[in-house]
Amino acid sequence: MAISLCTTLQLQFLTLNSSKSTLTSILTNPTTRYQFSTITMNLCTTKSEPVTTSSAASSSSMQYVPEQDSNEMERVSNQTFQRYTSNNTKRSGKGTSIVWFRNDLRVLDNEVLYKAWISSQTLLPVYCIDPRLFSTTHYFGFPKTGALRAQFLLECLADLKKNLMKRGLNLLIQHGKPEDIIPSLAKAYGAHTVYAQKETCSEEINVENSVSRCLQQVVLPSEESAAASTTSNSHPKLQFVWGTTMYHRDDLPFDVTCLPDVYTQFRKTIEAKCVVRSCIKLPTSLGPAPPIEDWGRLPSMEQLGLCSQNVSKGMKFVGGETAGLNRIYEYFWKKDLLKVYKETRNGMLGPDYSTKFSPWLASGSLSPRLIHEEVKRYENERQANSSTYWVLFELIWRDYFRFLSVKYGNSIFHIGGPRNIQHNWSQDKKLFESWRDGCTGYPLIDANMKELSTTGFMSNRGRQIVCSFLVRDMGIDWRMGAEWFETCLLDYDPCSNYGNWTYGSGVGNDPREDRYFSIPKQAQTYDPEGEYVAYWLPQLRAISKDKRNFPGNLYIRQIVPLKFGTTSRHNKEDKSHGARRGNDRRSNRRQV
């Protein structure tokens, strides 16, 4: 028996007291003045009795990722810390430096932390809870950070604090804008340098510029200036460190502004000409920290203006470096799944068809170089095959989108994308909301969208399918989809998110990529027994397996017809356009 459960999500949305055409013009022209109002929307999810099938993925109602208990998590993380720690490093600096933590919420292989430690005698680690992270998205006014990602972030911060304390430091948690907080801390503690990870998108760069400007107002006493070994200026320095990618930006064989526009060209060039750097190894003890009485507290969800959201179904990702390291251990070593990654990676149900590293990578709780080193260790100790390579292949996609954001700047967020493609997009609110809420009448779309709002995660396969459906079958402005993903995804990263959306919408930098995902074909290939859709839409479980993705009148009405083909699984066109597993992203066929 299925019980309907309505979770309410408070969304900032545009005032809808205007006619549809006014709304459309407001939305297309961000410079038009508009008012925000808070409306409450119901996202209807369905809570089922525990599902009883033989499939491990669907046999319990909620699965932790990683699944280890806290004792085992501690053991595994201590072991990994030992492996990536070195006590040979000598500290040579003077005075105090600050680590301004951003999307690098980890201790291991953190070059920012390393540089700050080595250049000082005392180190102050700080994280600023920036209210702008909890405002609204740029064009459509959705919450900038949804409740699930906010919860994940708080878990990351609690874990970072714990891991820093184990090493003789702590994490100062401050509420406010970095440009207000960092300079006043630099002044109060006489810090000669502030170290931070370099970001590449304009929102983050604007913050960097503001912090830099405000640090210029701080005058250091002469002692600290000497520690900074500066002769001319007596202001604290702001030192950025590159740290988000597997391949270091400085090692690219071309200037990033000349990045190849075709992924394969990029990948082949860097594979031939670059080497992934080894992880930075820090010593076990990083103290002392300055004497601070009140290290601050993590805010509650309510203080962030959000309602807590429990994950009752699907995957519950545990935030923090400890959990991220445990996921590597679980996926590579304990379950030995790395050797089959390439065959399973297009799955949709359960934790084990893919690595699930992305939420930790996006928050910086895991370093891609550490994953690289663990892949190499696995290849040495167990086996090397196309699957072990394929995880690195995917991480190169991640690097690629990061470097593209440097090359193309704000155009990755603009409607025409990097190529400035003109297209007549619709912003039909009813269609968009049916997609967002998982009520389109297409089980594969609805199941994926429900997974996203319930857990903050969706498989790569699902993301490509729902993106194609929104932009190609519904004709909706791709930025609405991208901003909704920005709200919901635990692994939200501006470069990967907007990069993939521009790709999927045909406005990306690679003109060869313009693909239509046929829903019947995708359902037949990736959910042939309807297990995935029946998990998220339990009312379909009563239907025979072959009809779950094609339920006809037994399910809600389809909100739009498909652009190509019918919903019949026996459709000829679908049969002739089979998707290749594994490397189909490289193909430029129009239908998959």
Ligand X SMILES: Nc1ncnc2c1ncn2[C@@H]1O[C@H](COP(=O)(O)OP(=O)(O)OP(=O)(O)O)[C@@H](O)[C@H]1O
**Footprint of ligand FAD (CB under 6 A):** 345, 354-358, 361-362, 391, 394-395, 397-398, 401, 459-460, 463-464, 467, 485, 489, 491-493, 496-497, 500-501, 504
Residue 183 or residue 347: which is nearer to ligand FAD going by CB?
A: 347
User: What, of ligand FAD, ligand X, none, does residue 592 touch, CB below 5 to 8 Å by kind?
Assistant: none
Residue 79 or residue 410: which is nearer to ligand X going by CB?
A: 410
Q: Is 353 helix (H, G, I), strand (E, B) or coil?
A: coil
Interatomic CA distance for residues 400 and 97, integer angstroms: 32
* 3-state DSSP percent of the chain in helix, strand and coil, to 5: 45, 10, 45
Tell me the residue type at 124.
Answer: L
The DSSP code for 494 is H
User: What, of ligand FAD, ligand X, none, does residue 483 touch, CB below 5 to 8 Å by kind?
Assistant: none
Residue 204 or residue 251: which is nearer to ligand X going by CB?
A: 204
Residue 182 or residue 395: which is nearer to ligand FAD going by CB?
A: 395
Taking the complex as a whole, the smallest distance from the CB of residue 402 to ligand FAD amounts, in Å, to 9
Residue 451 or residue 491: which is nearer to ligand FAD going by CB?
A: 491
Taking the complex as a whole, the smallest distance from the CB of residue 360 to ligand X amounts, in Å, to 18
User: What, of ligand FAD, ligand X, none, does residue 465 touch, CB below 5 to 8 Å by kind?
Assistant: none
Residues contributing to the site for ligand X (CB under 6 A)? 138, 201-204, 409-410, 413, 494
10 Å CB burial of residue 352 (0-12, 13-18, 19+) is buried
Closest CA to 364 of 502, 204, 160, 177: 160
Taking the complex as a whole, the smallest distance from the CB of residue 343 to ligand FAD amounts, in Å, to 12
Residue 369 or residue 398: which is nearer to ligand FAD going by CB?
A: 398
**Tokens 């009813």, residue?**
430
Taking the complex as a whole, the smallest distance from the CB of residue 220 to ligand FAD amounts, in Å, to 39
Taking the complex as a whole, the smallest distance from the CB of residue 465 to ligand FAD amounts, in Å, to 9
Residue 473 or residue 491: which is nearer to ligand FAD going by CB?
A: 491
**Tokens 């019947």, residue?**
520
10 Å CB burial of residue 258 (0-12, 13-18, 19+) is exposed
Which tokens belong to 415? 């409607």
**Tokens 């170290």, residue?**
195
Q: Is 548 helix (H, G, I), strand (E, B) or coil?
A: coil
Residue 120 or residue 405: which is nearer to ligand FAD going by CB?
A: 405
Do 197 and 103 meet the contact criterion of CB atoms below 8 Å apart? Answer: yes
User: What, of ligand X, ligand FAD, none, does residue 46 touch, CB below 5 to 8 Å by kind?
Assistant: none
CA angle 410, 413, 419 (to 5 degrees): 80
CA angle 311, 317, 318 (to 5 degrees): 110
Q: Is 84 helix (H, G, I), strand (E, B) or coil?
A: coil
Taking the complex as a whole, the smallest distance from the CB of residue 205 to ligand X amounts, in Å, to 8
Interatomic CA distance for residues 490 and 314, integer angstroms: 14
User: What, of ligand X, ligand FAD, none, does residue 459 touch, CB below 5 to 8 Å by kind?
Assistant: ligand FAD
Interatomic CA distance for residues 443 and 87, integer angstroms: 55
User: What, of ligand FAD, ligand X, none, does residue 463 touch, CB below 5 to 8 Å by kind?
Assistant: ligand FAD
Residue 84 or residue 492: which is nearer to ligand FAD going by CB?
A: 492
Taking the complex as a whole, the smallest distance from the CB of residue 496 to ligand FAD amounts, in Å, to 4
Which tokens belong to 513? 């990529």
User: What, of ligand X, ligand FAD, none, does residue 532 touch, CB below 5 to 8 Å by kind?
Assistant: none
Taking the complex as a whole, the smallest distance from the CB of residue 514 to ligand FAD amounts, in Å, to 14
User: What, of ligand X, ligand FAD, none, does residue 119 touch, CB below 5 to 8 Å by kind?
Assistant: none
Q: Are strands 122-129 and 96-101 parallel, antiparallel or unpaired?
A: parallel
User: What, of ligand X, ligand FAD, none, does residue 355 touch, CB below 5 to 8 Å by kind?
Assistant: ligand FAD
Closest CA to 230 of 183, 189, 190, 192: 192
Taking the complex as a whole, the smallest distance from the CB of residue 536 to ligand X amounts, in Å, to 28
